[in-house]
Each structure stands twice: as structure tokens, then as C-alpha cells.
Structure 1
Amino acid sequence: MVEAVYDLRAEDLLRHGIRAVLVDLDNTLIAWNNPDGTPEVRAWLDEMTIADISVVVVSNNNHSRVERAVARFGVDFVSRAMKPFTRGIDIVMERYGFDKDEVIMVGDQLMTDIRASHRAGIKSVLVKPLIKSDAWNTKINRWRERRVWAKLEEKYGKIVYHKGI
């Protein structure tokens, strides 16, 4: 668990054998209500490119929404990923021929992003949502997620986000 996707440094990923980052779009890479992104996202994507780490957006949003959001960043994407199922991850793995041990999924939702990565057998990194508000459909998942968090903290203690892996 890290604070933000931007806290994942290329040298740390490479040291862990990671050659590809699958990343959720809304509230992970960009704020759901700000499709233009931030200078931090551009800098992070540039760092990944320089290190030859592939970045692919895996989003449950529709094609036109994801295409419009990532067009300015020049990254590939899979829309309608159907997380928490593995459809989107499976498409990326087949498209690029990645090995499961060299890929991570980064997302802000335990119930979709992290669950899908575990079902697909790849590593995952949970990040804090970029902003506190969510689209209406995500609010349902957040309600369910709070219940799971409570059970996890009851079992393991306070869960802490870090500044890197």
C-alpha cells in the first residue's frame, strides 16, 4: 500500500522485477472529475518510459471515456475491464505477453482493482484515492469496502500507507 501511484519509483519496481504497471484510471492515475491529469502524472509516466516499464490503463469505464482521458498521455488501455473479474488484466497479459511475476496492478479500490489482481494471480498495490469524492457508481463500492476495511483492521491492526515499495 502506497500513498499514490506517483510514489512508485522506477528503480524500486525494477528491483522487484516489475516490467509492467497496470493502473486503474479514476482516482488512481487521474482524479475522476479532472480528465486532464496533473504534472505529477506526466512526470511519473515519463519516468516509467525512460526505465522501459510499460504502463497500461485497465479501467471499468467505457471506451470513449478512457480513450479521451489517456490520449494526452500516450499509454495503451483496456476499457470495460469488468473488475473485480480478470477480463481486463487477461487482455493485457495476452496482448503483451507479460509474465505474471513481472506485472503489478495499481488501484484505489480494494473491491475491484485489488480483487481482480489477486484473481488474476498478479501482485497489487493499493493507493489512496486522489480525491475524497467519487463518481456515483463508485460510492457503492466504497460502502462495501469500508466494511471489509473494518474487518481487516480488526484482524491485523491499523493499516498504513507508505511512500514507496
Structure 2
Amino acid sequence: MSKKSFLKKFYPDEYYESIFNIDFKWLQKRNIKGLLIDLDNTIVPRKEREVSKNLIEWFSELSKKGFKVCIISNNWKARTGKIGKSLGVPVVARAVKPRRKAFERGMKILKTNREQTAVIGDQIFTDVFGGNRMNLLTILVVPLSKSDLFYTKILRKLERLILKGYKGSREC
């Protein structure tokens, strides 16, 4: 296996500055109906416990556009459940991404298949790699804050190295 083909497992299909910049018409053209969205540093900063009015409106717009959404997080159920409830979406907590089981559970909840599902997240080694392993469309966003767990900070350095070779970015 060549270095390039190995690294492709870690490349997202799309890369955006923020969830608010994602081109949902592009997703609709690809028949995407379900979104598995990470929580920490994707939709809210890691230490945040409340959701913003803008985020509530964004999730409402997703619903109006016909997308079904499930939050998939490696975080604990108490926090993810509270945020999911605030946004009116189901949650898969303690997901242990990049394991396949979490993505399969999310698709089962949404009643979507692989061709209809996209993963949105801020981490290459959990969200993008996990979604790519499942042959889902993957979207990477820039993390909302620099606050990370110690091991995530180490992985962020590796992510930067991987992203140097990334081609095909729509926005970043």
C-alpha cells in the first residue's frame, strides 16, 4: 500500500471552516438524507454545556431541508443527552469512534443507509476515519476551540501533518 492510498483513509470528502458554511444543496444533490454529527468542537466548544440560538436555528433549518440528524459523541450521556434534547435530536453517547458500531447505531436511528448518510466532525482520527471506514461521506470542520483533552492535542499535531497532503478542499 502506498503512502498516498494509506492517507486517503484520513482525508475528508469535504472540509469547511464551520458547520454554518456547509453546502447542503451539494449534499442534497448526492441524496444525503441523514447526518451523523459530532458534538465537541464541532457544534459546541468542548467545555460548553449550552447551545446558542444560532445553533438551534441551524438544526431547525436542517430539519426544514429534510435532513435527519443524530449526534454521535465519545462524550458521556449526561452532557450529550442534554444538548441533544435542546436541539431536538437523538444522541449516541460514549460512541467509541472510530468504531463502526456507533455509526451503524446512528444510521439505524435515522433509518438511513450508507449512501444516504454523511458524517460531520472536527477530528480526523475519530469522525473522518470512522466515517471513511463505513464508506460514508465525510465532512471535516475546523475545531471550535483549542480546548481539547491531552491525547486529542497530540492527535491534532498528526492531523495537521495529514492535512498538508489533502487536496480537494471546497473551502479551507
- Give me the TM-score of the superposition, normalised by structure 2: 0.82
2:11 maps to 1:2: no
Q: Indicate if the aligned counterparts of 1:127 and 1:161 stay in contact, CA closer than 8 A.
A: no
- Contact 1:104 / 1:122 at 8 angstroms: preserved in 2? yes
Deviation of the 1:116 alpha carbon: 0.2
Q: 1:72 is matched with which residue?
A: 86
Alignment match, 2:154: 140
- 1:162 correspondence with 2:158: no
Contact 1:10 1:47 in 2 (8 A): no
Q: 1:53 to 1:160 in 2, by over 3 A?
A: closer
Q: Could you tell me which amino acid in structure 1 is paired with residue 122 of structure 2?
A: D
Q: Give me the whole-angstrom Cα distance separating, in 2, the residues matched to 1:10 and 1:58.
A: 19
Q: 1:106-154: CA deviations, max 9, x gaps?
A: 000011100000111111001111123323342232133234334x25x
Other-structure match for 2:134: 120
Partners of 1:120 and 1:4 in 2: CA distance: 23
Q: Using the alignment, how far apart are the partners of 2:131 and 2:66 within structure 1?
A: 22
Aligned 8 A contact 2:34 2:107 in 1: no
Aligned to 2:29: 15
Which of 45, 56, 60 is matched with 1:46 structurally? 60
Amino acid at match of 1:162: E
Query: Gaps spanning 5+ residues in structure 1: where?
Result: none
In the superposition, the TM-score normalised over structure 1's length comes to 0.85
Gaps of 5+ in 2: 1-14
Q: In the alignment, what sits opposite 2:118?
A: 104
Aligned: 1:88 with 2:97? no
CA contact (8 A) 2:118 2:136 kept: yes
Q: How many residues align?
A: 158
Contact 1:106 1:127 in 2 (8 A): yes
RMSD: 2.0
What fraction of aligned residue pairs are identical, expressed as a percent?
27
**C-alpha distance in structure 1 between counterparts of 2:150 and 2:83, whole Å:** 19
